[in-house]
Amino acid sequence: MYLMANSFIESFSRRYAMGKKIKRIPQETKYFRPEIHHCPHCGSKLEYCHTVSDKTVTTLNGVFKIVNMGYRCSNGLCSNRETVYRSAEAESYSMKYLTFGLDVLALVGQLRFREQKHRSEIAEELLHHGIKTSERTVQTLYERYSLLLRASLNEHVQQALQQVVEEHKGIVLSIDGIQPEKGNETLYVIREVISGTIVAAKNVKSSSTEELKELIQPILELGFPILGFISDGQLSIRKAIEELAPDIPYQYCQYHYLKDIAKPVVDRDRKLKTSIKKNLRGIRKVEKKAMKMDTLEAEVALDYAAAIRSVLLEDGKPPLDLPGMNVYERTKAIQESLEKCLVKKGDLPT
């Protein structure tokens, strides 16, 4: 499967050039020889013949020069005399035609698929790991990750789906599309809901019914019993499922359903939060005045100001956790606390 991924990458290597190269100076040179020392055919000792590869690889642990030394059988009469043996460990540092380590590829895939970060955000995250790169290079790394994932996914998916079928008599599939940046291709992901297994992922230029049918059809051909499909209300997805599997139950995603019906409430909640923030715009003046005073009251005032500022940063998770209501309840609690302080101080009637 790894060799199959390399064959894909070789065909795309020129198309996805990385533009202006960033010079990377290796901190160490590592030499590798084959893990076997004797010919597996005649048993003779292997001898060095030439360097198979010599390249600089950027990993999360630093930049290394990886030298993979090739060895041949020393027996001139061996039928496999021309076979060149190389180090599997050296090959595992990076994919062919790529100068970034597999650990970097794995990080890019995680940031893209799990955290749904954009190219610029991924480039910034890589910079935190000491890897300076461009958005174009991030796109190339993402493409290579996708190719490697596709080459190694089938066996894992088959095993995971088979286990779900044995336990639940069938699988449940969810389909959703993510467009990271407006105008770009949309990434569609098909996931098995019970196990959480990613069954398919593909970038498509349009979200037409025909393109989505091409994504769904290979999964149906796997032959696993499907208990149902789940998606948002996108019409092209629903049509694709109806045309390919009209007898399989389809359900509108409950989260999307709840989000849609709660939209009027969320809009009102947003206005509530905005209104409260407008009423608290004078907090900076209070802070400046308190900072010039060296009294216990000034310290208390600064503590209350800090509490108010933290409340105003409340985002919540609508529709179930509304930020406007959270801000209202917490500012009301702060107000009640202030009033109690003023009553104790004698500035308010009991």
The yes-or-no verdict on residue 324 having pLDDT over 70 is yes
Helix, strand and coil percent figures for the chain, each rounded to 5: 50, 20, 30
Neighbours of 269 (CB within 10 A): 21
* pLDDT at 64 exceeding the cut of 90: yes
Whether residue 269 is found in the same domain as residue 215: no
Give CA–CA dist 235/221, Å, rounded: 23
CA 254 vs CA 174, 232, 257, 259, 323: distances in Å: 12, 9, 5, 8, 21
Alpha carbons 164 and 158: distance in angstroms, whole number:
10
Tell me: pLDDT of 319 over 80: no
- Taking only the tens place, the pLDDT of each residue in 87-121 is 888 888 888 788 898 889 888 988 888 788 888 99
334: containing domain: 262-345
Judge whether 185 lies within some domain: yes
Asked whether residue 253 falls in the same domain as residue 279, the answer is no
Q: How many angstroms separate the CA atoms of 294 and 298, rounded?
A: 7
Q: Is there a domain that residue 153 lies in?
A: no
Any domain includes 160: no
Query: Which one-letter amino acid corresponds to residue 266?
Result: V
pLDDT-derived band of residue 309, with 50, 70 and 90 as boundaries?
Answer: confident
pLDDT digits (tens, 9 = 90+) for 154-190: 667 888 899 999 988 999 999 888 765 555 677 788 8
Q: What was the pLDDT predicted at 151?
A: 60
Count of domains observed in the chain: 3
- The DSSP 8-state label assigned to residue 94 in this structure reads B
- Per the domain annotation, does 273 fall within a domain? yes
Q: What is the predicted pLDDT for the residue at 180?
A: 56
Looking at the structure, tell me whether residues 296 and 246 fall in a common domain. no
Q: Which of 157, 153, 165, 126 is nearest to 142 (CA)?
A: 126
Of 228, 236, 227, 231, whose CA–CA distance to 256 is shortest?
Answer: 231
In a domain, 350, yes or no: no
Q: What is the pLDDT of residue 17?
A: 39
What would the pLDDT profile of 201-256 be if each residue is shown by its tens digit?
Answer: 777 778 889 989 988 998 898 899 999 998 888 889 999 999 999 999 988 877 77
Higher pLDDT, 45 or 321: 45
State the distance between the two ends of the chain, measured CA to CA, in whole angstroms. Answer: 78
250-252 and 28-32 strand pairing: unpaired
pLDDT for the residue 183: 59
- What tens digit of pLDDT does each residue of 190-216 get? 888 888 888 887 777 788 899 899 889
Pairing of strands 46-59, 62-73: antiparallel
Q: Average of pLDDT values for 12-23? A: 49
What value does the mean pLDDT take over residues 283-288? 83
Do 224 and 99 reside in the same domain of the chain?
no
Q: Are residues 15 and 96 in the same domain?
A: yes
pLDDT at 35 over 80: yes
Residue 3 pLDDT more than 50? no
Instruction: Tell me, yes or no, whether 75 and 98 share the same domain.
Output: yes
Q: Which pLDDT tens digit goes with each residue over 37-54?
A: 899 889 999 999 999 989
Arithmetic mean of pLDDT over the chain: 83
- Is there a single domain that holds both residue 246 and residue 271? no
pTM score, whole prediction: 0.43
State the pLDDT at residue 322: 85
pLDDT of 348 strictly over 70: no
Angle between helices 135-168 and 119-128 (to 10 degrees): 100
What span, in angstroms and rounded, lies between the C-alpha atoms of 335 and 341? 10
| E strand or H helix at 230 | strand 226-231
52-61, 205-214, 280-289, 312-321, range with greatest mean pLDDT: 52-61
* Whether pLDDT at 16 is above 60: no
Question: Are residues 176 and 80 part of one domain?
Answer: no
Instruction: Check whether residue 270 and residue 295 sit in a common domain.
Output: yes
Final residue in a domain of this structure, among 241, 257, 273? 257
Q: How far apart are CA 226 and CA 220, in angstroms?
A: 8
Confidence of residue 58 (pLDDT cuts 50, 70, 90): very high
pLDDT digits (tens, 9 = 90+) for 127-150: 998 898 888 999 989 888 877 766
Q: What is the pLDDT of residue 4?
A: 47
Residues 122 and 8 in one domain: yes
Amino acid identity, residue 310? S
